[in-house]
Structure 1
């Protein structure tokens, strides 16, 4: 249908879509800051003032950490895409931040896949979707590996009342379901949008191992940066916990929060709830925990999303 429309009409609809994405992103940010029951803007500002968080030194350091966080993510995307097509760091920056803005109101940032693919012509889009999946799998792998280690230390150090028989039964059921799914998928030609499991497996197995390792290292560096940023905020708010001890809480929080499906804009609420529960074992005030998770969200997602809105508005469809 779009092919039958006049060129100027297409351009008008294209601009309208871009503006709609930016307006929707800003609206969701506005809702998060003003209408979230777990977050009171005025009280939040007063609490930050009391803890002197608005000092130039602290803000600059937080911005630097955020910069490193996204620098590693952008560098990872540039490196992974290089197998299909060489792109500049500037292009990787535009694609990463632009897709963040476009996906901020989609469940689990699913919109990021389509947003990044739109930067490429049709012959590259399937590969870009798979590369983006690989990128997210690598980041999730770091979260799971460090999260399991952190959760093990946390459970070992604190007396948590656990019903081990129920946990065993639950894990057995999950293992059975996964085994059944794998068996069924192997016996059937299951496809998702033209991608079969065999194609996905072949794509990953044939992907250059050096680049996968390089991207994994960048994912690890990114994780260490934003987890240290969380620890730094704990220190700013006067929470005296040794770094390794705090990392057990932080890695457990990111693991547990990552397995809960949520709309990206409410990610801070999920992380805040999990963090409140975990840090209650060392007596950290819930207001402090919510303030830290909110600041993390503001610096690592809201500000990059605002920057990304510029790239969305200036986006031009690639020519064949």
Structure 2
């Protein structure tokens, strides 16, 4: 297939592009290579893709409608995976406009480009942050998500609503994936595992919020990519069992689906740090701090729907995933 991947120089996007190329798909990468975090890491991910047959790339932002539409017209994608977004919960408190530009304006540009060019299936990144202040565990796609606690989460919930509108009005098949905490080699420097590793190796203390007592459904990158590809290959149609008298956010009478994509196995942050210490062979000095504004105390994915519809089966324990990350980090940074 011809697959357009936005955010192709990002953590998930670069891994996904590698896997699509390996199975024989043509991939068009689109990314603005912004400086939200180290652009040289983004370029290094991209440099692994550029020499490969079947890969093309254009630099551009989602909110640059002309550049985005030029990429669509040049490549004529059959399917699209939209992973580009302004990421990060905490940064949304500092720079809310960046989230509106990329995640709202940019996403409607994606929807319009797909609608007018007959794209077969749009898969897009939502986030576990949409569950906000919900306390019922595990988080299920059937749950109400009307109480976000960050603007980032609100933009991702908005994406789900916008996608449904286009599925309903224009018959565009869309699937939203609520990513839970993704980690692994080539990961993001603003994420806990990367930050902790860097500081522990430098002999510096790490900031541990909520005194390390919150839990996350840490999901290894290979499991995530497997789930994204399985989803991409499963084009949704109208759900014949959808009941408008008892509506669920997860399906529709339109060709629309929402799934959690996680590990279905939450790990307490203190345990995560312990595993990292074992892999590094060093103890961490911890600054124990209260929960940060915008953060949720716990995340735990119910992935039953994704397993049922695509055969998704995450299999990487946190001990293996963290070890793989540490090996990559030491090799990449020469430590």
Give TM-score, length-normalised by structure 2.
0.22
Larger radius of gyration: 1
Of structures 1 and 2, the one scoring higher in RCO (CA 8 A, sep 6+) is 1
More helix by share: 1
